[in-house]
Chain A
């Protein structure tokens, strides 16, 4: 056999098996399935919390190509499914749901971020803005580059917010004085499409379960509610 032709064959075989010809899946491919990010404030003692309130409404924040953001409510059926799942998970961790007026120690809100957006998620998109009119958020930022449908869950530490509330001026009842809201725990669940098909709602529900599963520190204290 001609050694030159043999070498050519070797080269062909080697190129076919070329380990250098690696093709990494790009980030859009890697987020085809649901991606769940959870974070917490390291200064928060979850054991000091026992009660929570949660909004029954879920707002969709829809960004267009120019970056303008509009808001609209998620349909009540889907919203109630998502809120019920979060409530169930919180109660399974020992937290007790109370009304807003019952001075909860944690305030939870859900929102959906939608649109072909690469940018930054700012917590002040939350629908707590205006909900607890006397609070404002400490802006925190998480960079994301996912294309559609992100479900955001935020648990704010209302006890610490009250502690930070500046003293009201004399003669002022106080509600108009803003206090900082500290996000104690949050989750961004990517890959949840912005429409309300049953499949997407189911993906969101599974994402909620994963968010809590990867947050074992989220346990209520044993004190009375």
Chain B
């Protein structure tokens, strides 16, 4: 898939999310949620930061060496995690995510030690990462939209695969990941938010043709606030 079409898909997902969020927002406003009493003129809003679990679908775009290795964006990615509030707006917890970049280049020629080989060419880069997550939410929990920033620190694993004719090359490096993120949580139900975020996963994963395998991830997911 081309970059242009992947951008189109991503923009369509954002439009879908915003439409969904605005639709559900009406419902959220008409059904007063437990713990959020908005008395006329008083604005008694209980400021509840809740533990939450989150997860979602992600699109990835390789950067630098990873982009040279596989130019196509990744449409197979997900993330799961849980966060616990430790201070006003500040949540910490655990995460795990996985992603697969794949590309079929068609007929490609590679040099060998005493010749060359050409044929259908396939490349894959599969990532797993898990570790600690921290996220800071701006605004109060009862706001419809809560911007947030966050960071992930974890260990990551990669399997870089190249297939050409009957030749198969595998590499499985292990490294560390630091991933800053910025996003928005749209509260669509008292305990449910839709999240849109962008993250950059920088890793120390090295393979033969990849130094510091890193990518940008665009996240579309849900945040479930756990009840008391």
Total interface residues in chain A, CB < 8 Å: 37
Residues in chain B within 8 A of chain A (CB atoms): 53, 55-57, 74-78, 80, 98-100, 102, 107, 109, 112, 114-120, 122, 124, 126-128, 161, 163-166, 168, 189, 191-192, 221-222, 224, 226-227
The residue among B53, B75, B78, B126 with the most chain A CB atoms within 10 A of its own CB is: B78
Contact A27 B114 (CB under 8 A): no
With A19-B100, A22-B124, A144-B166: A1-B189 Cβ-Cβ less than 8 Å: yes
Residues of B within 8 A of A35 (CB): 117-120, 165-166
13 residue pairs from A and B, CB less than 8 Å apart: A13-B78, A14-B80, A17-B76, A19-B98, A19-B99, A19-B100, A22-B100, A24-B161, A33-B107, A36-B119, A37-B116, A190-B119, A210-B107
Contact A30 B119 (CB under 8 A): yes
Which of A38-46, A60-68, A92-100, A172-180 makes up part of the contact surface?
Answer: A38-46
Contact A190 B165 (CB under 8 A): yes
CA distance A141 to B146 in the complex (A): 66
Contact B116 A14 (CB under 8 A): no
Residues of B within 8 A of A42 (CB): 114
**SS class of chain B's interface: helix, strand, loop or mixed?**
strand
Contact B119 A33 (CB under 8 A): yes
Residues in chain A within 8 A of chain B (CB atoms): 1, 3, 6-7, 9-11, 13-14, 17-20, 22, 24-25, 27, 30-42, 144-146, 190, 210, 214-215
Contact B57 A17 (CB under 8 A): yes
Residues of A within 8 A of B126 (CB): 19-20, 22
Say how far B101's CB is from chain A's closest CB, in angstroms: 9
